[in-house]
């Protein structure tokens, strides 16, 4: 239940914020990856990216709980 904002306003702000930060993330990540392509090549770049992703997946697996007991249903 959202008590601070109208739900339509919250959803619009969330969608705009998500798109904005998604595009900022693409800009921020594409430059270093492009430089990696130029310096070390295609295959090593994707190997490093895969290792980084695996690292974050393992952190998420170890730190996130399986069930928080919180229900999203409105009563």
- Whether residue 33 contacts residue 45, with contact meaning beta carbons closer than 8 Å, is answered with yes
**How many distinct structural domains can be found in the chain?**
1
Longest dimension (CA), the chain: 57
Residue 71 lies in a domain: no
Residue 21 is assigned to a structural domain of this protein: yes
* Residue 39 counted as domain residue: yes
pLDDT: which is higher, 12 or 3 = 12
Its domain, for residue 53, covers: 7-62
Residue 45 within any structural domain of the chain = yes
**pTM as predicted:** 0.60
How buried is 18 (Cβ within 10 angstroms: 0-12 exposed, 13-18 middle, 19+ buried)?
exposed
Domain assignment present for 68? no
* pLDDT, tens digit (0-9, with 9 covering 90-100), for 12-40: 888 888 889 999 999 999 999 999 999 99
Residue 42 in any domain: the answer is yes
41-61 per-position pLDDT tens digit? 999 999 999 999 999 999 999
Give the span between the Cα atoms of 15 and 23, in whole angstroms: 12
Residue 74 scores a pLDDT above 60: no
């Amino acid at each position: 239940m959202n008590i601070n904002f109208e739900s339509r306003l919250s959803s619009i702000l969330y969608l705009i914020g998500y798109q904005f930060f998604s595009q900022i993330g693409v800009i921020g990540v594409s430059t270093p990856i492009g430089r990696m392509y130029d310096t070390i090549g295609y295959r090593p770049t994707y190997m490093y990216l895969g290792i980084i992703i695996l690292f974050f997946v393992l952190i998420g697996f170890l730190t996130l709980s399986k069930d928080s007991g919180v229900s999203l249903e409105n009563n």
